[in-house]
Amino acid sequence: MLIEELMIKDVITLSPENSVKDALTVMRDRKIRHLPILSADGTVVGIVTDRNLKDVVPPSISVLKDSSPYETPLAEVMTRNPITGHPMDFVEEAAVIFYDNKIGCLPIISNNKLVGIITETDLLYKYIELTGAHQPGSQIEVKVPNTPGILFEVSKVFHEQKSNVLSVLVYPDKENDANKILVIRINSMNPLKVIQGLKDSGFDVLWPNVPGIHI
C-alpha cells in the first residue's frame, strides 16, 4: 500500500511567524499534535509538535508569570528540515522511518509542495485493518514448521471447511527458530471445525496461545 492511499490530504499548517499560542490553540481545537510550518511560497520549512511546545511553555497556565513564551514565533521552536516522505512511498517504509527516528509524523511532499501528512495513529489503524480486528471474527494461531509450501497445506483446511479468512499474519516462534506462528482470523463464531481440521492434518493449534499455559 502506498502512502497516498492513507495520508490525510487536508493538512492544517501554520507559518514561521505564527506564535506558540497560535499553535497551542489550533492543536487543542482540532485535536492534533503535529503542525507542518510553511513559508510564504508553500515550502515546508519546519514542523511543530506537542513535544516542541512542551519545551517552551510551562505545563499549566496557573504557574505562568511571564506570558512571553506564548508570543514566541514558531520559527524559534520548530524542528527545521523535518524528515519527509513522498506519496508513492510504501506505508511499511513510513513505519520503519517512524521507528528508527523516533518520530510521530511525516509531512508528505510532492514537487516541493506539501500534499499530505501521515501520523502514527493513521499507521496504527492500518495495522488494525491488516490484522482483521475491525470486523467480527475468531482468531486461531497455528504453529507450523518453517518450510516452503506450508501455507498451502494450512490454507487447504480453510478451503475444505469453507471458512472465510479475514487476515493472515506470520511471525517467528520465539521458542524455536524452525517454526513459524500463523495468526489467522476467520469471520465465524465457531472455529471448532477448522481447528479440528487443522489438528487432523497434523498441525499444532494454539487457541488460545498464552505462554506458560498448555492445555
Q: Which helix (H) or strand (E) holds 160?
A: helix 150-160
Stretch that binds other proteins, among 4-12, 17-25, 32-40, 136-144 (CB under 8 A): 136-144
208 is a contact residue toward other proteins (CB under 8 A): yes
- The whole-angstrom separation of Cα 44 and Cα 67 is 28
Extract the runs of DSSP E, i.e. beta strands, from the chain. 34-38, 44-49, 79-80, 105-110, 113-119, 138-145, 165-172, 179-186, 204-206
* Cα Rg, the chain, nearest whole Å: 24
> Min. distance of Cβ 145 from other proteins in angstroms?
23
Stretch that binds other proteins, among 9-17, 18-26, 53-61, 161-169 (CB under 8 A): 161-169
> Min. distance of Cβ 98 from other proteins in angstroms?
22
Can you tell me which of 192, 199, 200, 204 binds other proteins, judged by CB under 8 A?
A: 192
> What angle do the packed helices 192-200 and 150-160 form, to 10 degrees?
130
Can you tell me which of 75, 83, 133, 150 binds other proteins, judged by CB under 8 A?
A: 133
Stretch that binds other proteins, among 44-52, 83-91, 172-180, 188-196 (CB under 8 A): 188-196
Closer Cβ to other proteins, 40 or 215, answer by number: 215
138 is a contact residue toward other proteins (CB under 8 A): yes
Closer Cβ to other proteins, 119 or 138, answer by number: 138
- The whole-angstrom separation of Cα 84 and Cα 44 is 9
DSSP of 127-159: HHHHHTTTSS-EEEEEEEES-TTHHHHHHHHHH
Stretch that binds other proteins, among 5-13, 94-102, 131-139, 149-157 (CB under 8 A): 131-139
For residue 24, with 0-12 CB atoms within 10 Å meaning exposed, 13-18 middle and 19 or more buried, which class applies?
middle
Residue indicated by cell numbers 494450512? 154
> Min. distance of Cβ 141 from other proteins in angstroms?
8
Q: What are the residues binding other proteins (CB under 8 A)?
A: 133, 135-141, 162-164, 185, 187-192, 207-210, 212-213, 215
